[in-house]
Structure 1
Amino acid sequence: MKIKEVIVVEGKDDTVAVKRAVEADTIETNGSAVSESTLAQIELAQERRGVIIFTDPDYPGERIRHIISKRIPACKHAFLPKKEAISKNLDDLGVENASVEAIREALLHAKEENEHFLEVVTWQDLHDAGLIAGPTSRKRRERVGDLLRIGYANGKQLHKRLQKFRITATEFAEAMERVFEEEKKS
């Protein structure tokens, strides 16, 4: 599988993991203090080939994603569920721990932000679905983020991501239906 966009990752181990899964070029941020020269490289890559931001599903990864998105808003985003990014001994979370299949799946479903998308999933929809301020809300948000391939987020961030990645009310409803079905089975 060949990816035409340049994939932005956090470090060398992530590059190795990505290149095991797909044929692609990467840019490494080398941590969450993204340098000006790295941002300039990402800007050029976006202009010439497009960019997919593929960071770890943790706070530093989200920080990097935010820094890049603020400067270069047209990038695509690939998200890896936390369960796919945990090392075998459960002490490390990162892209480098993911299987070839999980990396391919995340990159295949990379989504582009759109700040001008008309809101279709409302804040009230999130409340009604039990995704805000309930005993199971965190677990539900995590599962919805996995199903919609937009990553885990708190309630406010989830609402923003649903808009950014143009998740339709139908897609949201289908994901919530699956969450409720899974809860009934467990």
Structure 2
Amino acid sequence: MKQKPRIDAVIVVEGRDDTIRLRTFFDVDTIETNGSALTNATIETIRQVQKERRVIVLTDPDYAGEKIRTKLSQALPEIEHAFVLRDDAHDHRGKIGVEAASAAALQHALGHVQTAQAAVETFSWQAMIDFGLVGNKQRRRFVAERLHLGEVNAKQCFKRLNMFGVSEDAVADVLKEWNE
């Protein structure tokens, strides 16, 4: 029997089905938030685990997943983030989320982990406009996929570019690919 790859970090997921899906492909430890019912006790558990191990948030690419991610980011600014894309996280029944993601999509997400930077603006709103990231969903999605920002609207894109310390030059380099 082939041994599953070990993930040394603890992965924060929304629920039991997400844990089951990850354990199908990986030897991994998880903490479940019980969906959007994320409690202060769970946040404290994550805080304690973070003292000993890396902790990566991997929530569904939907409103509830984003809400959980935001709450965790506010409470634990050093937490790491992995994003599975909506297109890569659905099954034949129409279910969208980590529990429906393929092994390749999960491996890709966990291979491109982002860590929040100090609160310094590296990317301006004017640059968002200048680069055509406001009002052009396809262009914004292209940038978000290349920079591993997850599913984002314009406001989320702006916040994540700054949260992860992405420079305007880095976005300009990505957009060179768009123009090819």
Q: TM-score, normalised by structure 1?
A: 0.87
Instruction: Give 1:92's aligned amino acid.
Output: K
In structure 2, what is the Cα distance between the partners aligned to 1:74 and 1:88? 36
Deviation at 1:26, TM superposition (A): 0.2
The ranges of structure 1 where at least 4 consecutive aligned residues each deviate by more than 3 angstroms after the TM superposition are none
Q: TM-score, normalised by structure 2?
A: 0.90
In structure 2, what is the Cα distance between the partners aligned to 1:7 and 1:97? 16
Residue 113 (structure 2) pairs with residue 110 (structure 1): yes
2:30 to 26, 31, 41: 26
**Greater percentage in strand:** 2
Q: Check the 8 A contact 1:4/1:24 in 2, yes or no.
A: yes
SS of aligned partner of 1:7: strand
1:68 to 67, 72, 88: 72
2:42 to 28, 38, 41: 38
Q: Which residue of 2 aligns with 1:92?
A: 95
Q: Check the 8 A contact 2:127/2:168 in 1, yes or no.
A: no
2:57 to 53, 59, 70: 53
Percent of counterpart pairs with the same letter?
39
Deviation at 1:58, TM superposition (A): 0.5
Deviation at 1:8, TM superposition (A): 0.1
In structure 1, what is the Cα distance between the partners aligned to 2:172 and 2:50? 33
List runs of 5+ in structure 1 lacking aligned partners: 182-186
Q: State the superposition RMSD in angstroms.
A: 1.5
Q: Which residue of 1 aligns with 2:134?
A: 132
How many residue pairs get aligned? The number is 176
SS of aligned partner of 1:48: coil
Q: Check the 8 A contact 1:22/1:104 in 2, yes or no.
A: no
Q: Which residue of 2 aligns with 1:184?
A: none
- The more displaced of 141-150 and 72-81 is 141-150
Deviation at 1:74, TM superposition (A): 0.6
